[in-house]
Structure 1
Amino acid sequence: MGRADERRARQRGGRRAAPSNRSSQVAVDEGPTVVGQGRAAARRGGKGGKGGKAAKKSLIRRMFTWKKILGTFLGLCLLGIGAFIVLYMMIDIPAGNADAKLESNVYKYSDGSVMTRDGDVNREIVDLSHVPKDVQKTFVAAENKSFYKDAGVDLKGTARGLLNTLSGKGAQGGSTITQQYVKNYYLTQDQTVTRKLNELVISLKLDREKSKDYILAGYINTSYYGRNAYGIQAAAQAYYRRDADKLTVAQGAYLAALLQAPSQYDWAVATDTGKKLVQARWNYVLDNMVEEGWLGKTERDAMVFPKPLAPKPAPGLGGQKGYLVKAANAALEKQLVAQGVADNAKQAEDMVGRGGWTITLNIDKKKQAALEKSVKDQLTSKLDKKKRTVDGDVQAGAVSVDPKTGAVVAMYGGVDYYKHYYNNATRTDYQPASTFKPVILAAALDESAQTQDGKAITANTLYDGTSKRPVVGSDIGFAPENEDDQDYGNITVQTAMNKSVNSVFAQLGVDVGMDKVLKVADDLGMDTADLKAVPAQTLGTMGASPLQMAGVYATLDNHGKKVTPALVKSVEHISRTVTMPDPVGDQVISREAADTVTSVLTGVVDDGTAKTSVRDNPERDGQKVAGKTGTSDNNKSAWFTGYTPSLVTSVGLFGESAKDGSQVTLTGATGLIPGVGRINGGGYPAQIWADYTFGVQTKVTKFDLETDQGAAVQPTATPTPSQTVSETPSETPTTEEPSETPTTEEPSETPTTEEPTETPTETPTETPTETPTDDTGDPFGGVVGQ
Structure 2
Amino acid sequence: MKFFRALFALIFSVMLVGLGILSPFVVYWLRHLPDYRELDSLTLGSTTKVYARDGSLVGILSPTMSNGGHINRTLVDLDQVSPYMQASVITSEDRRFFEHYGVDVLGILRGVYKIVKGQRLEGGSTLTNQVVKNTLLSNLADKRTEPGGLQRKIQEWVLSIQVERSFTKEEVLNHYLNVIYWGRGGPVDILGVHGAARAYLGKLPRDLTLAESVYLTRLIPQPARYFHYKEIRGLMRSLLDDMVEDGWITPQERDAAWQEKLQPRGWKVKYDNKGNVLEARLVNEKAKNLPSVVTERAPHFLQQVERELIAKFGREKVYGSGGLNVYTTLDPKAQVSAEKASIEAQVPPGATLGMVILDPYTGEVLAMVGQKLKPSQAPSEWNNAAQGARQVGSSIKPLLYTTGIEQGIPQSHTEFDEPTDFGNYKPQNFGGKYSYKDLTLRWSLDHSLNIPTLKLAKKVGLNNFMSKLRTMDLNAPDDVGLSLAIGTLETSPLKMAAAYATFVNGGIWYRPSYIRRVEAQNGQTLFDSWRDRPEKRRVFSPQVAYVGLDMIQGVVNDLSPEQGNLAFKARIPGWQVGGKTGTTNEQKDLWFVGVTPVAVGAVWVGKQEGGGMPANFYSGTVNPPIWQNMMAGYLSGKPPVTFAQPDGITYKTVDGYKAAFVTERATRAVRPDSEPQAPVYTSVQSLPQDYSTSVVAIDTRTGKLADEFTPPDRVKLRRVSGDDTGFLQ
TM-score normalised by length of structure 1: 0.46
TM-score normalised by length of structure 2: 0.49
Greater strand fraction, Structure 1 or Structure 2: 2
Higher relative contact order (CA 8 A, sep 6+): 1
